[in-house]
Amino acid sequence: MRKRSFAADRSGNPGGASRVRRRALLGTAALAVLVALSGLLAYLTRDGRTTTKGPSVPASSASSPSTLPSATAASASPGDRVALPVPPATHDPIAFGKAAASALWSYDTRSYAQPELLAALHTWMTSDAKYADSASVDALMPSPVLWGRMADNGQYATASVNEAHFPASFTQALQADPGAITQAYVYAVTVSGQQSIAWNGTPAGGAEARSTTLAVQCRPSQNCALAGVFPTVSP
């Protein structure tokens, strides 16, 4: 069954061009050090789209209920409620990257509203404003209207992480200049796994492979935090 990505619904929004310019400038200023290290120049020219897929709405069919706009999330019984994601306390960028990817690929419209999830994900972001790109996280979230349509179906997603590693371009850059990382302590981490989506009446849902490259800041004196999400996956 074909599922429609929420990202496609947002692509035609007015003001898209100005958002692209703002994000390009933010990427240039805030993540210049990471770009220099990893060679992922897409941060300077990204257009607001990403290869990392987010929540999708099940297509209306005989096996899935039709969708109608809604302003609030569908209610779930106390035993079904899912807690909002909380960042782990770790100094390991790989471990943090795995947890962050799982948080980005998971959601439950039955348990909380879209603003609540967005606020929770913002707590994963680094407090270092110079390197924080919260817009790259916001771009992965459905709009409140689309979230409401997902909530009408009681849609939710769970994630499993298979593997995480430093991209080859990142490790090669570090080998060429080991001291460069000490300026920002921002690491590129590529994570792969699977997202399983289900909704009312279809608990089995469907599963799709997921991959994403994250910017993770791990200063020696602080726990790791999310700096941003790259628009393309770096192997």
pLDDT digits (tens, 9 = 90+) for 222-231: 999 999 999 9
Q: Does residue 108 contact residue 156 with C-beta atoms inside 8 Å? A: yes
Residues of the chain with pLDDT > 90, as a percent, come to 60
Contacts of 6 (CB under 8 A, 6+ apart): 54, 55, 56, 57, 142, 143, 146, 150
Could you report the per-residue pLDDT of 1-55, keeping only the tens digit for each? 434 444 334 344 545 555 544 444 444 433 444 544 444 433 433 343 333 444 4
Task: Indicate the length of the chain as a whole number.
Answer: 235
Q: What CA–CA distance (Å, rounded) separates 94 from 160?
A: 15
d(C-alpha 67, C-alpha 204), whole Å = 19
CB within 8 A of 88, min separation 6: which ones? Answer: 95, 96, 99, 223, 224
Per-domain boundaries in the chain: 3-59+88-229
* Chain segment 174-197, per-residue pLDDT in tens: 899 989 899 999 999 999 999 999
> Does the structure show a pLDDT above 90 at 79?
no
pLDDT at 189: 98
**66 vs 230: which has the higher pLDDT:** 230
Report the C-alpha gap between 32 and 131 in whole angstroms.
9
pLDDT at 9: 42
pLDDT at 1: 42
Mean pLDDT of the chain: 77
Confidence check: pLDDT of 221 > 50: yes
Nearest to 229 by CA among 23, 14, 11: 23
92-125 burial code (b ≥16 CB/10 A, e <16): ebbbbbbbbbbbbbbbbbbbbbbeebbebbeebb
**Phi and psi of 4, rounded to 5°?**
-100, 120
Confidence of residue 170 (pLDDT cuts 50, 70, 90): very high
pLDDT at 201: 86
> What pLDDT shows up at residue 17?
53
Per the CB < 8 A criterion, the answer to whether 228 and 137 are in contact is yes
